[in-house]
Each structure stands twice: as structure tokens, then as C-alpha cells.
Amino acid sequence: MNNRITYLQVVTRFEENHLAYTSLPLNDAARIIISQRGGRIFGPFMGQVDESLLWTNSAFADAETFRAFLDAGDWNLGGERVYIGPELQYSVPDRKKFWDSYTLSPQVDPGNYELLMDDATGQCKLQQDMLLNAYPGDEKKALNLTRELRPAADPLRNLSNYANLIDGVAYCGYEQSLTLGEEENDGLISQTWDLTQINPGGTIFIPALPTIAPTDYYGPVDETWQTIESHYVRVNITGDKMFKLGYRAPQIYGRAAYFNVLSVDKACLIVRNFYNNPTSPYLDEPYHSLGCKGDSLQIYQDDGALGGFAEIECIGQAIGGFTDRSAVTDNISLWCYVGTPENIRQITYHLVGVMPDQIK
């Protein structure tokens, strides 16, 4: 399956189908594309003929295939998206039949986003109101979500050895502010759930305490995919084995890095930085182990049936119910580096304290 989708291909498909989008400039020639449908973020693209650094559905490569994709109402466009959690409360009517009853609310995806671009500030805004079914039972929950996006400066820029680190490396990044609010406090707790799709072939590094005990959402995995080291967790992304792993907030630090070698002379690093607040309740739990809560970060991998991608998923702070809070804003960032494998290894070490294996 060809998931090497360029900036021009995404723009062309949106233009052909009259889908609203905006292009947000980042650093140098880099850009992201933000779509009204589904509130997706595509890219980053280092240039107009460059491929997306995030996984993008291969349907974008062909006009007829993309049209059929839209007609089918499929959700899996790729890129980055924001859902509402906890998952069991808003997507699973029958927790004893997780896979058979899973229902994605159209209020969340594709949603009914308003897309605004402020050229004066260089910011983009997505906003929508939602009325969600809450399970079990027949409760309704009215929520509003506002997402503000802006370019992010290189977090390494003030280091004394910055010039050497960035030699032969291109950087781009963006910040996103997620504001979730409820119309009424009715006892239900809600939180944002940001999902970023990545291409297979690399390794995710999660700085963590040595006591970390990952949550297995779909069943245990062996060291082919996950290993726990002295100060980090390593997750190998192959795109051919379904699993979902969770990491509890007190045992991680709010950062995960994906290192992927693209060719002999080029590697990519994608870093997710998010507010990790162990005080806030993180309510996602495996359908087979109710009560096992507290994960602020999750890693999901597809088995190839949906395209062979993986996802870095971070959870926002909770509102509603016993939290005594009816609105909250979470700030998350995505930092991307493309360059020589050796320099990308060094940058990985500076950002997450892990030196990826030597490139041969």
C-alpha cells in the first residue's frame, strides 16, 4: 500500500471534492494542512513535493479512490485527529461486546467543525459543538471543543551546541491548544483524546520510571514490540500486529519520540510533547479489566487491515463530575526533524534521553 502522500496530492484531492481546508505555514517552507472534515491535521510537509511525515491514507493518491473513500464515509484519513474520551463511555454501548458494539459518533468524526484562519496572528482555529451518547444507558452529553494551532519554535534552539545539532537537519513544529467545555455538570467526566498516526518502520521511545507497568488493552505483547529499559520504554512499530498499550501518568514525563530511518542518508524524528498531570483522572480502561485506569499516554498499532499505521495517543485533563471543573485547556506540541541519521540520533538523545541504535 502506497502511503507516500505529498502536499500537492492532499490539496488536489480536497480541491477536487470541494472540501474546506487551510494551509498553515510552519518553519521555512514547511506546512501542515488542516481540514474541516474530521478536523484533521496532515503533514507536516517540508515542501510542496515532499511526503507527509505522518501516516496518510493511500486513497489520496488517486482521484477515483478518494471519491469512493468519501462516499463510504470512512474515518481513516490519516494525520492527527482529536476524539473525546473516555472511550468506553462514548464509543462502546456494550462493554461485554467491545468489538461488536464499538460505535464512533458522527458528532466527533467527521463532526461539524468550523474552520477559521487568522492571517494576522498566523493561527488556525477549529471549533464545534457535540451532543454525544453516553454509555451504558441513554444519557446525552453536550460538549464544545476549540482547537487553536500555531507554529512552534525549535525547542533545542537555545542549546550551546545547537548549530552542530541542526547541521544538515530541517526542523518544523506546531502547537495545539485544546479547550474542552461542558454545557452542564451532570456527573459525566470527559476529556480530549489526541491521536497521531505514524508510518511503520521505526521505534517509539517513552522516557519512564523503571517501575513502569504498561497496560495491555487488547492482550499482552512480547519483546518483539515492547521492551522496558532502565529509564525508558521502547516500542517497535511494524504495522503488522494489532496491540494497544497504555502508560500511567505518574510513571512517565509527558513526552514520546518516534525515530524512523527513511533512507541510507535520511532519518526522521517526531516528538509528541504534552501536559502530563497525574493529579487529573485519566479514565480510559481496557474493556476486559474495568477499573484499570490512569493512562495519560497510549500507543496503538494496526495489524495491516486498516493500512498498517500506528498511533501516539495522549489524553487531556478531565472535566465534569467530581473534577469540579467545567472547562479545561491542554497544550500539546509536535516537533519534527529530518536529516542525517547520526544528527537525528543526537537530537533524540537531547529530547528524550535515549540514543537510538547505531545506524549501519
Q: Which cell goes with 334?
A: 509536535
Residue 242 vs residues 52, 191, 206, 216, 335: alpha-carbon distances, Å:
23, 25, 19, 11, 26
Does some domain include residue 46? no
Does some domain include residue 165? yes
Please give the radius of gyration of the chain, using alpha carbons only, rounded to the nearest integer.
20
Does some domain include residue 17? no
pTM above 0.75, yes or no: yes
Model confidence over 119-169: pLDDT tens digits? 878 899 999 999 999 998 889 999 999 999 999 999 999 999 999 999 999
Model confidence over 56-108: pLDDT tens digits? 999 999 999 999 999 999 999 999 999 999 999 999 999 999 999 999 999 99
Does some domain include residue 28? no
DSSP state letters, 89-146: HHH-S-GGGHHHH----TTTTT---EEEEETTTTEEEEEEEEEEEETTTTEEEEEEEE
Does some domain include residue 169? yes
Does some domain include residue 9? no
CATH of the domain at 87: 2.70.98
Q: How many domains does the chain have?
A: 1
Q: Which cell goes with 95?
A: 462493554
Does some domain include residue 318? yes
1: pLDDT strictly greater than 60: no
Does some domain include residue 47? no
Interior/surface letters 92-129, b for 16+ CB within 10 angstroms, e for the rest: beeeeebeeeeeeeebbbbbebebebeeeeebbbbbbe
Q: Which domain range does residue 151 map to?
A: 83-352
Helix runs in the chain, H state only = 7-16, 63-71, 87-91, 98-101, 162-166, 341-352
